[in-house]
Structure 1
């Protein structure tokens, strides 16, 4: 059997292919909507398929949704998933190889009991429940035997429009990790602006053949992977406000790109230098509102440019760098001395492409409200 036929035979064993067309397996796509400061992706879970809106999280290596019976669930606007009504739901055992891949998220002790997971996030939210096989459907493609979490105890702040998380980190149990052989290790998304004339705008996320980001306005930069970590890092050399440059040390220049985090986080000294540069370029001292760095709404805010490796200079307008806070514009960057993060506000209105095998992340300026699924 040649390589292409062997690949098709394998794919048929786990995927329901429309019209037996192997090309379809590398063209997964779905809708993304913005809700408050989160981005939610539409998927269908179970048999029969049940619609779920899950938070798009490149910083997470396990997908999960809220499930009945709910011992402690956050409020959300969709019916809670009932695994007893899905013929494709199958809980894993604690001693299964898949359960053991949870590592420190493994939360069961007896080998013959159901596999339990425990997730916690940086904001002290988290999820506890069963690890199970399930079917995910996107468009006309159903992917069987996806490993995901069925959360019975979910705590912390979660968006009411969301029913859980879609893990896009590079881990063996993430959605990306389980489908990377189908999508050639590539995905891209476009995050619509959280402000503007169309608060209900939709955009899309692509996996595989249509995820490539190209064109004359694209910039490419190095993707850094760290051993044993599912996260994606970029090498940030400096940031600038017009001609004023703020340098990063190597320790803090490796910045986590995270669609599940709203703001940017930088070391305290970088933030101080950035604020001083903004004050000098704006020509006015800021309004201090609840310890936020703010200006009046009509203030002329200069662009801030991020200088990444490979001479990739990403220029962000005030829409990416300041947020409306009452009757003012406030800087959406905070001091954090332990990790640097490039959050989703700075990614708005860019088509962001991840090519994991090539270790490249690409940015293309795009009106994401027009980057929609074709019907």
Structure 2
């Protein structure tokens, strides 16, 4: 039996555009908290639950609600089978498979508070479904052939950090996507993919009030939907997102972005997360001391599924002290976690920017309007949090969520093993390039055409989520 640890990611409301060879795909995204009042308890509680799933192999001494029932900020609507049937799934850029709750499944959730009806995939209801056998190339690639039982077929077993599980068999069927055929124009296109047909759930996965129909993995392994599309020559292993923290929308794209151009930094190799090398950190030029393990081992994770930003205790203390030395305020604790203060002036004029400097001179600047949340009139709180996270060898970890990634186009280029970003107006548009050289503009207004693949979210939570996956 082979096991892996993977992690999930969630982001802010956005639209997803997928490039497929000479094609692109459009996804509409829905934010779980859209239209609701801003409450920091929601952000931290969501992040805490996400930690419990994403960081299973990491020591996370976090208190509070460590349940695995978080939906994350976003979920998406996809279509599977022939005829196509809609399913609402979490979009998980860290895990490696797509799995859907399948019929029969006595322990699968039967209802959700997210405003839609849950659906079970029925193998017998799709004329194009095929069982993935032990001799299938997909199964032989991911599992030990000796452990695969021919009468059951190729199967999977996922164990989350709180010991909740999902298990079932792999199925091959059509995934319906919206192909971008021109500027703001789309047309239907189906792609065959292998996904897990979940027949048994345990723990919180079967009890969540914010349940969805499954999880769509966009991780780095060859079993993810992204990698399957790339292996078929239908897409490049590149995806991007641009999160608008003002209007709550943005863009998520699979494929090559033509513009705006971005500068990149190498991914740390052989990591299960999107790790990068943080070299320096400063508050408007005033340097902060980084833990040695952060610099030596690349212990900085880029995770748009995380709402806030989590730092080791000493670095957090130094950061808050340096910021407040530039702009003195009287801090008080809100909800036992957040450092807040009363302020009547323009925070962007009064507070300093925070700069992260990565390998190859890539800089990420976090402005006051990014790291400060306004709970009510003249009351602000810091989005910086103490993470308390360490790796298995006790090295400290920095986790940078969409608080610092907002208003930037962030590109994950798995083919060249780099991550890059550039400041961008995420409520505007980007240009994507297809395999034939065509370049098309895609923006938030592109969603009015009711695309079949509504990439609504990054699920499994707002912070990072580690998942152990065993294929048998």
Q: TM-score, normalised by structure 1?
A: 0.77
| 1:308 corresponds to | 358
Instruction: Specify every segment of 5 or more residues in structure 1 that has no aligned partner in the other structure, as ranges.
Output: 1-21
- 1: CA distance between counterparts of 2:297 and 2:312? 7
Structure-2 residue corresponding to 1:86: 126
The equivalences for 1:146-225 within 5 A come to 146-154=193-201, 155-156=203-204, 160=210, 162-180=212-230, 181-193=233-245, 196=246, 198=247, 201=249, 203-208=250-255, 211-212=256-257, 214-215=259-260, 218-225=261-268
Cα distance in 2 between the residues matched to 1:28 and 1:119: 29
Q: Is the 8 A contact 2:265 2:359 kept in 1?
A: yes
SS in 2 for 1:52: strand
Unaligned runs of 5+ in 2: 1-18, 34-71, 179-187, 392-396, 429-442, 450-472
What secondary structure, in the 3-state scheme, does the structure 1 residue paired with 2:317 have? helix
CA deviations 1:155-203 (Å, max 9, x no partner) are 437683743322111101101111123223222222332xx4x55x4x4
Is the alpha carbon distance of 1:311 and 1:46 closer, same or farther for their aligned partners in structure 2, counting shifts above 3 Å?
same
Q: Aligned pair 1:128/2:180, yes or no?
A: no
Q: Structure 1's 112 and 23: CA in aligned 2 closer, same or farther, altered over 3 A?
A: closer
Instruction: Please give the alpha-carbon distance, in whole angstroms, between the structure 1 residues aligned to 2:282 and 2:211.
Output: 36
1:266-324 C-alpha deviation (Å, 9 max, x unpaired): 33332232232233233124222243132136473543222122211111234533446
Instruction: Name the SS for the 1:134 alignment partner.
Output: strand
- Are residue 47 (structure 1) and residue 59 (structure 2) matched? no
Out of 278, 282, 300, which is 2:323 matched to?
A: 278
- The within-5 A match list for 1:73-112 is 73-74=108-109, 75-76=111-112, 77-83=116-122, 84-94=124-134, 96-102=136-142, 110-112=149-151
**Map of 1:321 onto structure 2:** 371
Contact 1:47 1:87 in 2 (8 A): yes
Structure showing greater relative contact order (alpha-carbon pairs closer than 8 Å, 6 or more residues apart):
2
Whole-angstrom CA distance in 2 between matches of 1:298 and 1:67: 52
Distance verdict in 2 for CA 1:258–1:52, change over 3 Å: farther
Q: Is the 8 A contact 2:87 2:118 kept in 1?
A: no
Q: Are 1:72 and 2:111 an aligned pair?
A: no
CA contact (8 A) 1:204 1:373 kept: no
Counterpart of 2:416 in structure 1 is 358
Report the 3-state secondary structure (helix = DSSP H, G, I; strand = E; otherwise coil) of the residue aligned with 1:178.
helix
Query: Does the 8 Å contact 2:308/2:383 carry over to 1?
Result: no
CA 1:353–1:79 in 2, change beyond 3 Å: closer, same or farther?
A: same
Quickly say closer, same or farther: Cα 1:364–1:39, change in 2 above 3 A: farther
Q: CA RMSD in A?
A: 3.3
Q: Is the 8 A contact 1:35 1:161 kept in 2?
A: no
Distance 1:124 1:223 in 2: 33
Q: Residues 152 and 275 of structure 1: is their aligned pair in 2 closer, same or farther, counting only changes over 3 Å?
A: farther
SS of 2:427's partner is helix
Give the structure-2-normalised TM-score. Answer: 0.63
